A = this chain, B = another copy of it.
Amino acid sequence: MGTREQLVDSTRELLWERGYVGTSPKAIQQRAGAGQGSMYHHFAGKRELALAAIERSADELLAAADELCAPGTALERVTAYLRREREVLKGCPVGRLTQDPDIVADPQLRAPVDESLARLRARLTEVLDEGRAAGELPAVLDTAALAATVVAVLQGGYVLARAAGAPEPFDQAVSGVLALLAAHAH
């Protein structure tokens, strides 16, 4: 991995673990094993590094949603996505950024967070639409609302797990929404 990549990767980890306000340029340099001169050769500063790191996290969030493109019924695909292996106690590297006031207040830093979560919801809406068209889900259900519910369950499940210091509440929240969806599927 080149120095530039190493810097972006270290920033991504630190934003995930400590957030924007808790991440100093010095901490990024130390984790990346790069000097100050090297960092400022590649990036104008912490904000530009954060932007590259957030864009990478956003890309990975969407890449992870590939389970939704696998074969199977809509419910099977949503189930596979919700049940995929996750570092539950670390939380979501994208969702956690919404608690960073400096990121939310900065349109450029917030954009990849907003766009990736919006695209994830749009992709889930398509899957649920296919399920509805196939008669798998009732026509009366608002698939865009359901997609927001599914993504919210993931993001909120992380919150509950981190509060509890254990993954169980995340698993329960996922089980609950899947049971509700499954009861509708026919």
Contact = CB atoms under 8 A, between A and B. Distances in A.
> How big is the A interface, by class?
35 or more
Nearest to A153: B152
B157 A152 contact: yes
Contacts of A169: 117, 121, 148, 152
Copies of this protein chain in the complex: 2
Given A142-B179, A155-B155, A175-B142, A165 B22 contact: no
B18 A19 contact: no
Interface of A: 17-19, 21-22, 91, 94-96, 98-101, 104, 110, 113-114, 117-118, 121, 138, 140-142, 144-160, 162-165, 169-170, 172-177, 179-181, 183-184
